A and B are shown apart, each in its own frame.
Chain A
Amino acid sequence: MIAYTDKVRQIARRLLEESRVEMVIGFRKGSQPMMNEPCFIRKAEDADKLVWDGNCGINLANYLTGRNEKIAVFAKGCDSRNIVTHIIENKVQRDKLVIVGVPCTGMIDKRLVASRTEGEIESVGENADKVVVKLSDGGSLEYDRREVLQGNCALCVHRNPVIYDELVADLVEEQTDVDRWADVREIEEMDTEQRRRFFEDLLAPCIRCYACRNACPLCYCPTCFVDESKPQWLGKGQDQIDIQTFHFLRAFHCAGRCTDCGACQRACPVGINMRLLTKKLEKDCFEMYRWEAGMTLDQRPALDTYKPDDPQGFIK
């Protein structure tokens, strides 16, 4: 994946030189290892700032809404599905976008690498299937790339972009032998009381910074329900009930739209796996309506269509 960088720069430069777009959204190196940051390029000569490696986990679809200029965006499988969702929800117009597809082999979980590594990490590089960590004391370590992927990437079955104008590289092979919902099933098998405790523990460290909401490409409401004061849906403090209400409602808002891009979990400063909530809704949508978000522009989402044979066992 590291080899994409040259191609990414080349494409960005060409698009800007030919004035096909006014701005390119990609990634540049962050100030810390494994923290690439989104980068907005307007001039062709700045294209060399762009990079692409296994630390581009932020979802760039998040930066497309509310803009007027013509934009080129680099999109992994999950980003492209979120772009489709944006187009369906009329948040962006297809003809104002140049989507450069990036076939993805998964992003590195920075927390996993950091927790496995003793000592201060100076830089993290990659080659074909190894992640190479250089320590500040001069030592270096190697991890198998597959072992340090983000949880959602390890289980991803849509690595290739679903919509694109051009591609950075050839499409990659999709994973087929993964069990996407093992963790959700585990929770489903608990009884009500266990589940309540489980989520209480899961969400207890939350500091209500709303980084998960801000990182999420689906969360584009002008005023989020947590910020509303008339009516005030939930308190602003650290009350456990308020924290849980926030996470539950956030998950509900993503029902049938979430592509499990993992941006929320990646952004969380205390490492809460809130994907356990959104994944349940994803699983339900898939099992009840055979629906996966953002796969096509031609179909209305499961939750805004009605079919006479929709499951309705829960209604008396």
Chain B
Amino acid sequence: MEYMGVEPDRLHFSWISSAESTKFVEVVSEITEKVKALGPNTHYVKKEAKVA
């Protein structure tokens, strides 16, 4: 996806065990910070109203 021009910080992968709630909180905070720094996603949103 990075190769196609999606900013690398728009896609995250992680591995958290069900017992690691602290890690979960850490990762959520970290990702949120990174995405905030990146700003809104503008390029990949479909602009017109969706025709279902």
In the complex, are there CB atoms of A and B closer than 8 Å? Answer: yes
Residues of B within 8 A of A194 (CB): 5
Smallest Cβ-Cβ distance to A281: which chain B residue: B3
Candidates A195, A232, A239, A316; contact of B5 at CB < 8 Å: A195
B33 lies within 8 A of chain A by Cβ: no
Give the complex CA separation of A236 and B5 in angstroms: 22
Contacts of B30 in A (CB 8 A): 316
Q: How far is the CB of B3 from chain A (nearest CB, A)?
A: 5
Q: What is the size, in residues, of chain A's interface with B at 8 Å between Cβ atoms? A: 24
What residues of A have a CB within 8 angstroms of the CB of B2 in the complex?
A: 192
Query: How far is B48's CA from A239's CA once the two chains are assembled, in angstroms?
Result: 9
Contact, CB under 8 Å: A316 / B3: no
| Interfacial residues, chain B to chain A (CB-CB below 8 A) | 1-8, 12-15, 27, 30, 43-48, 50-52
Residues of B within 8 A of A248 (CB): 1, 4
B1, B6, B15, B44: which contacts A316 (Cβ < 8 A)?
A: B15
In the complex, are the beta carbons of B8 and A192 less than 8 A apart? yes
Would you call A241 and B4 a contact (CB within 8 A)?
no
Tell me, rounded to whole Å, the shortest Cβ–Cβ distance linking A272 to chain B. Answer: 14
* C-alpha gap A239/B50 in the complex (Å): 11
How distant is A196 from chain B, measured CB to nearest CB, in Å? Answer: 3
**With A187-B3, A239-B48, A248-B4: A196-B14 Cβ-Cβ less than 8 Å:** no
As a 0/1 sequence over residues 254 to 287 of chain A, the CB contacts with chain B under 8 angstroms (1 = contact) are 0000000000000000000000010010000000
Cα A195 to Cα B45 in complex, Å, equals: 17
Partner of A195, one of B3, B12, B46, B51: B3
What are 24 inter-chain pairs, A to B, with CB distance below 8 A? A188-B3, A192-B5, A192-B7, A192-B8, A195-B3, A195-B5, A196-B5, A196-B6, A196-B43, A199-B4, A200-B5, A232-B52, A235-B46, A237-B51, A239-B46, A239-B47, A241-B44, A241-B46, A241-B47, A244-B4, A248-B1, A248-B4, A315-B13, A316-B14
